[in-house]
Amino acid sequence: MSTTSNLLDPRGVEYVRRLSIVREDAVLARLREETSTLEMAIMQISVEQGRLMEMLCRALGVRRAVEVGVFTGYSSICVARALPADGKLVACDVSEEWTAMARRYWKEAGVADKIDLRIAPASDTLATMLAAGEGASYDFAFIDADKTAYPDYYEKCLALLRPGGMVTIDNMFMNGKVFDEAPEKEGPRVVRELADTLFADPRIEPSLVPIGDGLLLGRKL
């Protein structure tokens, strides 16, 4: 037994990743490899995070999900694979270039028909969904986009979730920058303030998991 976590030890991170890669199939492995050649490869979620998200979606029986920030589509595949045949993932992004790669791999993974890609500012897409009466009708939300807009994305995604649904937010560690009491840059400062807000938010049950770059889970009450 231990009251501390060893996962932030680089050896622990590598150990978890090595085990997780065993369950990564050829499609995801190729996508991860191609993404690693991009200038913004750091935006790719970790293998172990993808495994956790897929398992969460299966365990929760997720049928309708929303993703804010697609990049090259790794997380989309993990979520979409966990959905039933008639499930839907609304994927929000602004990049035609990155999502073109995502589309190729979605098709190869056999999940393209489950994914509704919306190329527009995510805040606008989420607002449109709420205006269309889709509030409280989604089971799962994943946020991994512009950090300064995280508070807005969180509020809109929470409104879209049904009671018992789960919101997940990536990069809550900001590569360690949030560990400073007063982060200098706006992104880490906003994320740190959001973490404080979420753990005091009576609308959710929060948990911050030290996996990848820090993944916050919040079950809507």
What angle do the packed helices 122-131 and 150-160 form, to 10 degrees? 30
CA 94 – CA 212 distance, rounded (Å): 24
pLDDT tens sequence for the chain (221 residues): 555 665 667 888 888 888 888 789 999 999 999 999 999 999 999 999 999 999 999 999 999 999 999 999 999 999 999 999 999 999 999 999 999 999 999 999 999 999 999 999 999 999 999 999 999 999 999 999 999 999 999 999 999 999 999 999 999 999 999 998 888 899 999 999 999 999 999 999 999 999 999 999 999 99
What is the reported pLDDT for 5? 63
- Rounded to whole angstroms, the Cα distance separating 155 from 204 reads 12
Write phi, then psi, for 41 (nearest 5 degrees): -55, -25
Can you tell me whether residue 172 is helix, strand or coil? coil
Residue 81's pLDDT is 98
Residue 190's identity, in one-letter code, is V
Token pair recorded at residue 47: 């293998």
Return the CATH superfamily for domain 10-220. Vaccinia Virus protein VP39 (3.40.50.150)
Q: What is the pLDDT of residue 10?
A: 82
pLDDT of 18: 86
List strand residue ranges (DSSP E) for the chain, in order.
Answer: 64-68, 88-93, 115-119, 138-143, 161-169, 204-209, 215-220
Q: What are phi and psi of 89, to 5 degrees?
A: -120, 115
Q: Is 17 exposed, middle or buried (0-12, 13-18, 19+ CB in 10 A)?
A: middle
Cα–Cα distance for residue pair 78/59, rounded to 1 Å: 13
pTM of the model: 0.95
Beta bridge partners of 169: 143, 216
Radius of gyration of the chain (CA): 17
